[in-house]
Structure 1
């Protein structure tokens, strides 16, 4: 089963915490895993330096630096792919958060593979998308996440704030 949750950007950390604490979701920081693996890959070589890679992220998209970064990103996803595809588990949902690097660095097909595994019964995969307007189409970075309407839930502020249990308003 795949679920995509959209939530207002300012409620994102609280929503992540609620999904983990209320539903025992196993959190997976996609950006953290990506950056750690990218850094390992970069530091295993004399060039480029980590600082050069960071600068390349802000370079013109058609520049040599940006193209080299794209190559490193592709290798990074290739190395992370088996690990990420092994994460779905029938016992507890997998919560993907801070997942914008999937879009920014060309790995939306990996997200599709995880979704297909979830739809095939490998285990629940949840994706949390922060949005200025959570009612709009879900996006990672500027890329629309393809998901069926019945797989997408907008988390209301009241749910995130746990209003029904604590009596406090989300406002």
Structure 2
């Protein structure tokens, strides 16, 4: 049985995402053997990548699919949790404004953290939207800077 590396990676991911079942344990098919091997490879990869505290959370799982789901829920949250996080972060973006004692670099950094959090939750955000949000949150003392940048065109610049 000869498989290419790309094919093995595809099989490992397939077992991780979809799980598998061996119908006849006494007479497994070639695909059953491949699935079992891919499950073992995936488990070993996860075990080698995590620390002992995380291992304690997953050590009772026999299948990579179970491990993956548990880690996903632990670190990314359930769909309801993701939705709540997204709502909260969008609220931060809507109420975002420059603090009185804050520099341009500090406000930009705070905005970038919010944008990165939104992107991590799957939101698609364009650079010109980030630039627009940033410029609109500057206090009136930066009106001239805002006008100069807007006249230059937001499509042609990156937020940085």
TM-score in terms of structure 1 length = 0.27
Higher RCO by CA contacts (8 Å cutoff, separation 6 or greater): 1
Larger Rg belongs to: 2
- Which is richer in helix? 2
* TM-score, structure 2 normalization: 0.29
Task: Choose between structure 1 and 2: higher strand proportion.
Answer: 1
